[in-house]
Structure 1
């Protein structure tokens, strides 16, 4: 995982409510095109990110919010 992805993962895990709000905005604006990342975003909103697998984190950070929708 890239350094900024590790930082983003920590922020996601550290402030669940704020990140869920952010993700809702991202989804409303249709900013995630990858189907797998879209499903993971919905899962994070509904249940949190604590139970994501390494593969889900990789997919979400690379194709969901990472380089595309996140500015450090």
Structure 2
């Protein structure tokens, strides 16, 4: 399985953060409660990228694989 499929959920989460930034969905612009600030968004991106790199480097399963394994056991 290639990396983009194996870690598609993790990559999608990062992509969603980037899309929010592109569309200006940040508190500084929208003043909408619950919308993350730029600093919070940057922190989320750092954490998500770090988590993804750890999964890849250590050949750990992503969310998709974990769910698949649990579903197959049911």
* TM-score > 0.5, shorter chain as reference: no
Which of the two has higher C-alpha Rg? 2
Q: Please report the TM-score for the alignment, with normalisation by the length of structure 2.
A: 0.27
Between Structure 1 and Structure 2, the one with more helix by share is 2
